[in-house]
């Protein structure tokens, strides 16, 4: 039910954002500033209209579950056999998006329509972001690996 509500809030917000002028109705006129503003406002609306009621419902359900006698809890089969598989993280995508937004801001293209960007600019930006991420994360990783190897070499005669 929360998933369906989230879809309806999303559809309402998209229509409202265009009619109120939060974002242009033509995608080619969107800027990076429009995208960031749109996403932040969308997250806020989803939290207010879906997240808060879902949390209140979860707390109420948990309180109800705690008050049930143990015999009655056994009648409900909410918990089955657990699976050991876990989903992989998607943190690198969010990190790349944030880094790309910073790069666009530094380049002065924050309020330039995305339709005017060239492919060379986008590809060059992504390559420079990957290089900087390699430097930022690679140097500490290399230091950690060297430290670990030295630590292991000292343990063995």
Boundaries of every domain in the chain: 1-80, 92-157
Counting residues of the chain whose pLDDT is more than 90, the rounded percentage is 69
Instruction: Quote the pTM value.
Output: 0.72
Mean pLDDT score of the chain: 90
Structure tokens of 83?
């699976």
User: Once rounded to an integer, what is the mean pLDDT over residues 136-152?
Assistant: 94
For residue 156, pLDDT beyond 90: no
Q: Are 9 and 45 in contact (CB under 8 A)?
A: yes
- Residue 41 has a pLDDT of 96
Is the torsion defined by CA of 69, 71, 72, 74 positive or negative? positive
Taking residues 99-119, report their average pLDDT: 95
């Amino acid at each position: 039910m929360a998933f369906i509500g989230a879809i309806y809030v999303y559809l309402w917000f998209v229509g409202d954002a265009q009619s109120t002028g939060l974002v242009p109705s033509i995608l080619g006129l969107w800027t990076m500033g429009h995208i960031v503003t749109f996403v932040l406002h969308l997250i806020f609306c989803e939290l207010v209209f879906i997240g808060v009621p879902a949390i209140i419902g979860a707390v109420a359900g948990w309180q109800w579950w705690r008050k049930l006698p143990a015999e009655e809890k056994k009648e409900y089969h909410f918990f089955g056999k657990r699976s050991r598989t876990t989903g992989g993280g998607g943190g690198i995508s969010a990190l790349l998006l944030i880094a790309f937004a910073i790069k666009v801001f530094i380049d002065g293209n924050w309020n330039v329509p995305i339709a005017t960007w060239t492919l060379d600019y986008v590809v060059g930006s992504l390559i420079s972001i990957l290089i900087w991420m390699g430097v930022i994360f690679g140097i500490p990783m290399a230091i950690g690996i060297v430290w670990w190897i030295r630590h292991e070499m000292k343990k063995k005669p």
